[in-house]
Structure 1
Amino acid sequence: MLVLDQYLSSLAGLAVVAGLALLLLPHATPKVGWIRVLLLGLTIFLGWRYMLWRLTETVPGNGLTMDSVAGWAFVTVEALSLVSSTLAYLVLMRRKDRHEEADRNLGWWGSTPPRVDLYIATYNEELEVLERTLAGAQALDYPNVRVFVLDDGRREWLAEVCRRYGAEHRTRPTNDHAKAGNINYTLFQRLKDEDAPDFVAVLDADFVPHRNFVRRAVALFHDPKVGLVQTPQHFFNPDPIQHNLYIASAYPDEQRFFFDHLEPARDAWGVAVCCGTSSMVRVSALREIGGLPTESVTEDFLLTIRLDSHGYRTVYLNEPLTEGLAPEGLHEYVVQRGRWCLGMMEIVRNVYNPLGFNRLRFMQRLSLLDSLLFWTTTFPFRLIALVCPLLYWFFGIVVVNASVPDIASYYLPYYAAVLVSLNWISGGLIWPVLNDVSQLIAAWPITRAVAMGLLTKGPHKFRVTAKGGDRTKTVVQWPMMKPFAILFALTLLGLVLPLLFPDRFGHVAKAGDGIRVILFWTLYNLLVLAITMLVCVERPRVNRPQRESVELAMLSVGTQRLSSWVLELGVDHARVRGLAGLPAGALGTIALTGVGDVAIRIAAETKDGYRLSLRPTPEQRDGILRKLHTAEARPGAGRGDLPEMIRGWMRRLVSG
């Protein structure tokens, strides 16, 4: 009974968190500021209560014992990670929404709209990727915009494509300074022209502007101190984690928390950041700072800081004004995140040290420190958390000396507060296992990039994120899977060996109550590693990219005119529901709103309709691209759905 009472009393903190959640959250929205402050403040308090306990009561041994060294190494990284989390929680206590501000200032310029250049930076993207972006740029509803394709690949065929879409094709003699140098080259040329732009909008080659992108972004430049307007990045295709786990419709892309919640919060504190594509910058401010900075491979973040040091603010308009192609391959996904990390380390080492002597505002210093701690602690901590149980199973090294009631008393309330507060704020974007998988998959390349960026001056080479290409086959990313498979095997072996050879692993039997903590930690690691390995088996992507679309359309096949629902639409295919009795191979047309009558062939029957092969004219093809990608709507899932995620995992396991 005494033991039971001890366990029950240890759950008091968890009960308090659960009670507050049930009392406050069912009838409140995340816009209620005092509840945000209360929940996040409680999370910070419980986090540092936990950390104080960790530092004072759970690090084993004294002196230079293996237990002590390993224990202090682990808790140091954990404490730094909590510092990073604390800064994020403080930032999330506020939020800025500029939707109404943009509405009020849509015509601040009077009778003459400002001149806007739209720069589409490209290097090696294929035609399928570029024509989407150009079709979207062609449909912009702003009256005074010129579109430039900045081609560092110097491809002759692209010049002809640009002429077809009314865009101007620009090249330069060298590829110095990558994307930043590419934009600067054309910008400085344009500054010599009589119709030099007032503002420059920037898109990556795989990002399609919605019709209202330029109009809405320009509206926020009514304030002469606004130097840059950033808009969110949305993706019309699933990223590798979503796709490989069958959860694209149930779990938003990995960047949603940043763009939908962290950037609006940073904007409220005056530290919103430029993210490159889907942004617009004031040309006079760019001229003042000498163009886009070139000292880092993440010139966008550095641009924000440099503008700020000259008195210009970066603001954030949280509206779906563009949509792009997420990295389709796992290798490209990891390379992209490694490049982001490397660029941040270059900024901290070579340009703006948050603790150094420079012109940074206090909030910019905190912003830089937050980003530095995020990259340098989050991902190494994920790796260390996999290794620590192995130290115990194989060598008897105890890293955390704690009992189950202690863990329940100190860690569970903090963990519950994190899940409750962040999921309430974000609408269900924080799921323990999936968040760990998304961090683990890139943990080693990012840790390596941290070391390279901080310890070597550079300049550093980097690879452009590849988009497009053949994705129609199953690909096992063996080099990426190998370390996870080794860790999985070692972790499993650590569980089995004490059972087979109890005499050689006597430390396990002597561990007492702490063995339950290590056992749970080990089983959790096995689950995370298993799902991470599953992600490394890349499923084919057929008929991509595509967007689920539901609209009523009329099919004409022979003498028959049939009404059906279009469930899926691409430039060369569609899936329709509600039809029967049509022969495979039959020819006809489908009337698509905003496109016209598109020639079709019945490709195959499905359980509720048919798959169609589309044969559009070039004009109709552009119309389909605009229909798919330029509407004022956001693509992709907006919130997490746990039951649907579990069903997706089950389908993935069954399909292999």
Structure 2
Amino acid sequence: MEVTLYEWLIVSSAALIVFYLLSRKYHWSKQVLIALFLAINAIYLGWRAVYTLPTMNTISIIAGILLLLTEIAGFLQSIVFSVISWKPFKRKHIPLSEFESLPTVDIFIATYNESEDLLKRTIAACTLIRYPKNLVSIYVCDDGRRASVRELCEEFGIGYIDRKDNSHAKAGNLNHALTKTNGEIVVTMDADMVPQANFLERTLGQFTDPEMVFVQAPQVFYNDDPFQYNLFFEDQITNEQDFFMRQLEEGKDRFNATMYVGSNALFRRTALDEVGGFATGVITEDMATGMLLQSDDRKTAFINETLAVGLSPETYADLLKQRDRWCRGNIQVIRKFNPLKMKGLSFIQKLLYMDGIHYWFFGIYKMVFLLAPLLFLVFNIYSLDVAFTQLLWFWVPAFISSQLMFKSLANKKRTVLWSHVYEVAMAPYMAISVLSEIFLKKKFKFNVTRKGVQTNQRRFLWVTSIPYLLLAALTLVALVKVVLYYVYPERYSVNPDVLYINVFWVLYNAAAIILAVFLSFERPRHRNSERFSVDLQGVLHGSEAAVSFNIINISESGARIELDALSIEEYLSKEQTFTIDFAGVEGLTVKKEWINEKNGKLLMGISFVDPNLEQYAETIRVLFSEPVNAEIEKYYDKALLTTAMYRFLRRTKREDPSFHRQSIRKNVSLPGQLNIDGQTVEMTVLDYSEAGCSVQLNRSLRVDQLVKVSTNERELAGRTAQICWVRKKGRNRYVGLKFVA
């Protein structure tokens, strides 16, 4: 028997590896890999059901059944993913020239309490969309009823729509706008979603098919989500939503089951009228609306291109609130618009919508996986009872097949390990959301996700982190008990085979729990708008000279530029305001925020001062409408969990207060003294400018303390300074000083 199982392990693992390698080149190999995954995991689950359930006591029997049911639920989700991924599908582009006559288009920008800076960005981009101006109308649908927003719309020359109340939240807002407009095609945009100039050129052609009722483009995010940002892993992993927005939506499109995601979508007005407008009575009105439109064989389409970009939640707490809303909304949908009972949906459409709803139960499933090994190691409650070698024969091929199959199909948009991290991080809260929505049925108020968050302080989300800290504490207790099992084996009665299994299991979970705790450390976000790395040329105009420059990075409020102008560094240090020309933006007034020298070039930080409407719109065109930023498209590249932990531990620290340099810094090594409250401390000046200096010494100082500088350098002697920041490295302290006299 053991020889047969050993051969099974070797043959199955070898076959998986071979077909995985072939799948990089041949799609048929991916299909074989999918088939092997399904077969191997079906065998594994069959073996689990027959040979591994514990029978020693009632609690263990219940725990064992729960774990098995959880594994079966995960396998059912994998079957649906396999169906979606079985055959690649790419929708063919249809140009606008295919229309006999172009339709009229209404663009709705739905807003409630989003900042006007975000809204202004979206409005400007909408006015830049390439389409005959007499055929497109733009409306801001303002449920906040703000006079300032009305004035902003008047400034841009677009429509403004408000209403007397906020009934049915966003869906009610859009339905009200439908009664005030008459465009043949309706486009919905969230307040933070910025469309590109070619948005209609790449999507609208699908409506040449008279049966086409809505077209969805993906939501793509130009800022780093909390997983990327808080873990200092921006360049290694994608936005957590990319896998669904790009991979799964495209797969669903093959079955006419594209999900409407609330923004970046176009609708045929007559079809909306037929289903009574945007669905109400549920939080996730977008999902319900899309499902209603797809009934009765109406056609929908997904265009897998970056055609609009927006902001994902910027704090971990806000991300959890957003997912809580989505989770509850999906459960509300099955109550009011049960896909299984909806007439006009095909079997596969019903299956995909039910799978989308079923997905939100992952919180409960993941909590079972997290608690099962802890219950055994801490409380001796079994969830499976099997010899370690037997589990090895069946579990290893199943594990390898899931890893390789997913890696082959995910196109670097997700990995199994990072899916594990995401699910562990959200599991406690999503489990509560599901259970409370099902059993308590508490009325949930629609809340808009905060965007454009700006913070200057690093903080730890103590309340948010409580579930992870509890899981971490239980993990630590479990590992201590493992040590005791081996040190005092005579005191404990433990199945050693099951012990090995659960030790591996708890360590696997521990990695994700640690990263969930790390996520609770919110990094400061100093900028009020995202900054993109670019390579653009321009000219800086001052009172005495004009200097060419390269833009290194840019946002709608400022930029960092590089100048090859060391010969006029004194002039640049003294001047405070300039005008610049770049990429179609002309005569824009800028203020110098800081200036420094690096590798024989000058670096300068500038902020834009009161740009007029034309200058602002041109800047938005550079940033979004004709994007020059290639970093939006990201992939999982060497995204090891250990690397993420190392990156966090190495880089996380309380960031220094902003210390703006208005003049060139000179690197030196000058001995001197600091006079602090009548005491003299020896120090070394490392660099200095007209505005301040940084020094090295071996005494602790506090921020905001006033000191007097004494050196042989005439420019520094006798200067009074304020301490702006303090860093410790070994025995030395590094201090930043800003001159105040």
Q: State TM-score, norm by structure 2.
A: 0.81
Match of 1:360 among 341, 345, 354: 345
Residue 717 (structure 2) aligns with: none
Residue 505 (structure 2) aligns with: 521
Match of 2:560 among 561, 567, 575: 575
Match of 2:647 among 637, 651, 656: 651
Residue 179 (structure 1) aligns with: 170
Residue 411 (structure 2) aligns with: 427
Residue 86 (structure 1) aligns with: 79
User: CA separation of 1:621/1:46 partners in 2, compared to 1, >3 Å: closer, same or farther?
Assistant: same
What are the equivalent positions in structure 2 for 1:103-502 lying under 5 Å apart?
103=95, 106-110=96-100, 112-143=101-132, 144-190=135-181, 196-354=182-340, 356=341, 358-376=343-361, 378-455=362-439, 459-500=443-484
User: CA separation of 1:501/1:250 partners in 2, compared to 1, >3 Å: closer, same or farther?
Assistant: closer
Residue 506 of structure 2 aligns with an amino acid whose one-letter code is: T
Match of 1:631 among 626, 631, 638: 626
Distance (Å, rounded) in 2 between the aligned partners of 1:607 and 1:511: 64
The structural deviation recorded for 1:478 is 1.1
- Percent identity reads 28
Distance (Å, rounded) in 1 between the aligned partners of 2:562 and 2:63: 60
Distance (Å, rounded) in 2 between the aligned partners of 1:11 and 1:488: 36
Cα root mean square deviation, aligned: 2.7
Larger strand share, 1 or 2: 2
Q: Helix, strand or coil for the counterpart of 2:632? A: coil
Residue 653 of structure 1 aligns with an amino acid whose one-letter code is: L
The structural deviation recorded for 1:639 is 1.3
User: CA separation of 1:119/1:450 partners in 2, compared to 1, >3 Å: closer, same or farther?
Assistant: same
Q: Helix, strand or coil for the counterpart of 1:277? A: coil
Residue 19 (structure 2) aligns with: 20
2:58 is the counterpart of 1:72: no
Distance (Å, rounded) in 2 between the aligned partners of 1:38 and 1:5: 23
More off after superposition, 176-185 vs 126-135: 126-135
Match of 1:41 among 35, 42, 58: 35
1:4-37 deviation per Cα after TM superposition (whole angstroms, max 9, x unaligned): 9987874442222112222x13434xxx3x3332
The structural deviation recorded for 1:249 is 1.9
The structural deviation recorded for 1:537 is 0.5
Residue 101 (structure 1) aligns with: 93
Q: Helix, strand or coil for the counterpart of 2:108? A: strand
Residue 193 (structure 1) aligns with: none
The structural deviation recorded for 1:156 is 0.5
Does the CA-based 8 Å contact 2:454-2:527 persist in structure 1? no
Distance (Å, rounded) in 2 between the aligned partners of 1:358 and 1:6: 49
Residue 72 of structure 2 aligns with an amino acid whose one-letter code is: A
Residue 139 of structure 2 aligns with an amino acid whose one-letter code is: F
Residue 702 (structure 2) aligns with: none
1:378-428 deviation per Cα after TM superposition (whole angstroms, max 9, x unaligned): 221211111111111222112122344334332232332233232233322
The structural deviation recorded for 1:83 is 0.8
Q: How many residues align?
A: 638
Unaligned stretches of 5+ in structure 1?
A: 191-195
Distance (Å, rounded) in 1 between the aligned partners of 2:175 and 2:46: 50
Residue 726 (structure 2) aligns with: none
| Structure having greater relative contact order (Cα 8 Å, sep ≥ 6) | 1
1:570-617 deviation per Cα after TM superposition (whole angstroms, max 9, x unaligned): 122222357574455644444321223544425143756524122242
Residue 108 of structure 1 aligns with an amino acid whose one-letter code is: E
The structural deviation recorded for 1:463 is 1.9
Distance (Å, rounded) in 1 between the aligned partners of 2:331 and 2:5: 47
2:599 is the counterpart of 1:621: no
The structural deviation recorded for 1:492 is 0.6
Residue 320 of structure 1 aligns with an amino acid whose one-letter code is: T
The structural deviation recorded for 1:137 is 0.7
Residue 594 (structure 1) aligns with: 584
Residue 48 (structure 2) aligns with: 54
Residue 514 of structure 2 aligns with an amino acid whose one-letter code is: A
Distance (Å, rounded) in 1 between the aligned partners of 2:4 and 2:36: 26
Does the CA-based 8 Å contact 1:245-1:534 persist in structure 2? yes
Residue 440 of structure 1 aligns with an amino acid whose one-letter code is: V
Residue 348 of structure 2 aligns with an amino acid whose one-letter code is: M
Q: Helix, strand or coil for the counterpart of 2:405? A: helix
1:203-241 deviation per Cα after TM superposition (whole angstroms, max 9, x unaligned): 010100111112322110111111100001101101111
Residue 172 of structure 2 aligns with an amino acid whose one-letter code is: G
Distance (Å, rounded) in 2 between the aligned partners of 1:552 and 1:644: 34
Unaligned stretches of 5+ in structure 2?
A: 653-741
Residue 21 of structure 1 aligns with an amino acid whose one-letter code is: Y
Does the CA-based 8 Å contact 2:457-2:524 persist in structure 1? yes
The structural deviation recorded for 1:91 is 1.5
Distance (Å, rounded) in 2 between the aligned partners of 1:329 and 1:244: 9
